[in-house]
Structure 1
């Protein structure tokens, strides 16, 4: 795949994921939440330009930092997302304003990392960004699924942000 196609895939995945995450939706703890990140990594690794052949050490370092940024963004996103169990037993999730701030911060840090790579003279391909995005999605989905399973296992309807969950449900932000 060309860099342009990779960039379009990244934009499409981000738009789809962000659009879905800022709406209330049930958490399906049985679905394959890890599948999209695995597909993104496979697509990224099919490219031979993951690392700059002229500066492999610097390129590998930037890739490692990209993955760390992805992991941190995914964890921040997951822990700032609301997860609650409705009275009917269904576990719901919705990203919050803090989640949007985490995303924004992650994007700014990634732009800074890309700029650093340019200053260092390292050729960076969209494959590294795709791997970082996969790390973000994997960690976020894993933590939210874990939180949802914990709510199901507890059998209780806990309070979220001081609210009684009896009043929280579809349509409430």
Structure 2
């Protein structure tokens, strides 16, 4: 993909993800929360311009720093999100104002990192940003899934084993 297409893809993913996170949404710990970050990571890793061939060491250092920033932003975003459990046991989350501040700090750090790399003359492809975004989403989703599981287990009613729990049940059929 070209840099322009990568830029549009990154912008679209950020807009969709951020817009969704500031609305309350149910956390389903059974779904594949890692799928979107994995797809973004594969798209980023298949690009040939991830590392600058002329500045190999500095480029790897910038990429590592970008990934560390992405991991930190993902963790901070997950820990600043509000999680609550409804009476029916469903776990919900919503980003807070602090989460928005985390995003702004993350964007500022990435812009500063890009400017630093440009000042050193290092070619930086948009696939590095895409890979860092994948890391951010992976960490955030993983921490939220973990928090949701621990939150739902704390609020689940305690129930001891009863006779017949391990016996298979017949499905109820509706008769017309």
Q: Normalised by the size of structure 2, how large is the TM-score?
A: 0.87
Q: Match of 1:32?
A: 32
Alignment-derived partner of residue 112 in structure 2: 112
Which residues of structure 1 form unaligned runs of 5+? 158-173
Hey, what does 2:103 align to over in structure 1?
Answer: 103
- In our comparison, the structure showing a higher alpha carbon Rg is 2
1:59 paired residue number:
59
Equivalent in the alignment of 1:46: 46
Query: 1:155, CA displacement in angstroms?
Result: 2.5
Task: Specify the alignment match of 2:162 in structure 1.
Answer: none
1:143 maps to what in 2? 143
Is the 8 Å Cα contact of residues 89 and 152 (structure 2) preserved in structure 1? yes
1:115 to partner: Cα distance: 0.4
Query: Match for residue 162 of structure 1?
Result: none
SS at match of 2:93: strand
Aligned partners of 1:155 and 1:120: how far apart in 2?
Answer: 53
2:76 corresponds to: 76
Alpha-carbon distance in structure 1 between the residues aligned to 2:132 and 2:22: 21
The number of aligned residues is 157
- Give the secondary-structure state (helix, strand or coil) at the position aligned to 1:92: strand
Structure 2 gaps, min length 5: 158-176
Deviations 1:102-142 (A, max 9, x none): 00000000000000001111000000000110010000000
* CA deviation vs aligned residue, 1:1-56 (integer Å, no higher than 9, x gap): 00111111100100110011000011010111111111111101111000001001
Deviation at 1:156, TM superposition (A): 5.2
SS at match of 1:93: strand
C-alpha distance in structure 2 between counterparts of 1:118 and 1:77, whole Å: 28
Alignment TM-score, normalising by the size of structure 1: 0.89
**Distance in 2 (alpha carbons) for counterparts of 1:26 and 1:39:** 22
